[in-house]
Amino acid sequence: SREEVAYFGAGPAPLPTPVLEQGAKAFLNYENTGLGLAEISHRSPTANKILADTRAGLTTLLDIPSNYDILFMHGGGSGEFSAVVFNMVAVWVENRRRRAESELNGDSDKILERVRQEVRRDLRLDYLVTGSWSLKASQEAASLLEPIGKDLVNIALDARKDNGGKFGSIPPEENWKLSPRQRGQGIESAFVYYCDNETVDGVEFPSFPKSLDPGLQDELEKPLVVADMSSNFLSRRVDVSKYAVIFGGAQKNIGITDVTLVIVRKDILSTIPPPSFLHALGIWSPPAILNWAVVAKNNSLYNTMPIFSIWIAGQVMKSLLAFHGDSKLAGQEELSNAKAKIIYDILDANSSTYQVVPHTSVRSRMNICFRVCKGDAAIEKEFLDGAESRMLQGLKGHRSVGGIRISNYNAVSMTNVEKLAEYLKDFAKKH
């Protein structure tokens, strides 16, 4: 039964049982309509209400300011790796076009020529690479930009460099090589991208990077920050106003797969241009289903959306709000931290058996990555087999890095963390 299994998989991940019980009913016969949620039109009033409720839940949990929009999209985190490039490059180009237009008195040939040169010369996309997912995002950017120009992706940080070629640290901000941020002329980043929690490598930003929040008054001087929060969404408080864009797939902390959440500042949406100028420059226009402005304009119903998945996400948000009350994500943050601390304390107290992979200061509260007996294959297998025999499941590290990974998402209960803690102690005693 569900109660017997303690699942720590990295995603898809466990969901609160009451949400799944409600979900089973809603799948068959939603609110006594005689139809299941996967059967109804995405354009029906019922679907519209589900979208509105889910948006409201997210807005309350994260205190999302009114100058942000919430989009439901397809394609998962990976789809957003591409969407970020398509949309933010379009925004960069449009800003340059507007500037050229005002300086060149609307002479369209000259405007086109000036922006054409600027794109090749000045456009940069800054990536902080702290693990496998930000690496993948940066590679997608480089691949999409290849026809426009080489070296437009600036790897402002490759965290492997100071760490023996492996992820596991976030070097000091003084060492990051961010592109200049004066907007409108010279070399200029379209955005600075980072992954708040690296699911494979167990590296999490402890807080918002200081150098991305230089305390400037002028909005135009601030970098546009884009963050992937796929694997730590809703696990702690976030100051949304520091970001241009936050995105994440739902399938870890928020719900089931099929729906991607994007929180985007409205001035970004209103700067995504129609295709004509981009095409005149020989640059792609964002494909419609990845175009944030198109999706926003259509209330996230540009095409058929998985209403059932959005409903599940809304129920998870509702259950978080009900559980934590007014403390909202502060309450969840405390709980997530407490669960992670139980595990890390045991790992640290038994350091001859367990070796945590990332540096102490950047340890993820969501994905706890460690080796058993320095990665001895036979002992790690014994560890996993022993866990399995106690119904502790989903502990195998990502295939690219090996080792053990405990995923401690919101729906992992304290009871299950305690069961795992017992096992960690017992196993360490044996070795």
The residue ranges that bind ligand PMP (CB under 6 A) are 11, 76-78, 133, 195, 199, 228, 230-231, 249
Instruction: Give the count of beta carbons closer than 10 Å to the beta carbon of residue 406.
Output: 28
In angstroms, what is the minimal distance from the CB of 114 to ligand PMP? 36
- Measured CA to CA, the distance from residue 295 to residue 70 in angstroms comes to 10
- Taking the CA atoms of residue 269, residue 302, residue 119 and residue 226 in that order, the dihedral angle to the nearest 10 degrees is 50
Choose among 97, 126, 329, 98: nearest CA to 225. 126
At its nearest, how many Å lie between ligand PMP and the CB of residue 326?
29
Residue 340's SS3 state is: helix
Rounded distance, CA 353 to CA 194, Å? Answer: 33
Residue closer to ligand PMP (CB basis): 234 or 428:
234
User: CB nearest ligand PMP: which residue?
Assistant: 76
CB of residue 53 to ligand PMP, shortest distance in Å: 23
Q: Angle CA(178)–CA(243)–CA(398) in degrees, nearest 5?
A: 75
CB of 134 to ligand PMP, least distance (A): 8
Terminal Cα-to-Cα distance of the chain (whole angstroms): 31
Structure tokens at 108: 């369209």
Q: Rounded to whole angstroms, how far apart are CA atoms 203 and 181?
A: 27
How far apart CA 20 and CA 259 sit, in angstroms, is 17
Is the Cβ of residue 39 or residue 140 nearer to ligand PMP in the bound state?
140
C-alpha span between 33 and 350 (Å, rounded): 56
Q: For residues 46 and 309, which CB has a smaller minimum distance to ligand PMP in the complex?
A: 309
Q: Compare residues 8 and 30 and give the one whose CB is closer to ligand PMP.
A: 8
Q: How far is CA 315 from the centre of its chain?
A: 20
- Identify which of residues 386 and 402 has a Cβ nearer to ligand PMP in the complex: 402
Q: How far is the CB of 279 from ligand PMP (least distance, A)?
A: 28
Q: How far is the CB of 69 from ligand PMP (least distance, A)?
A: 20
DSSP calls for 176-207: --PPP--TTSSSEEEEEEEESEETTTTEE-SS
What minimum distance in Å lies between the beta carbon of 7 and ligand PMP?
A: 16
Distances (CA, A) of 360 to 206, 272, 346: 10, 41, 14
Nearer to ligand PMP, 87 or 199 (CB): 199
Q: Smallest gap, in angstroms, from Cβ of residue 199 to ligand PMP?
A: 3
Q: Which is nearer to ligand PMP, 230 or 291 (CB)?
A: 230
CB 296 within 8 A of CB 114: no
Comparing CB distances to ligand PMP, the nearer of 71 and 119 is 71
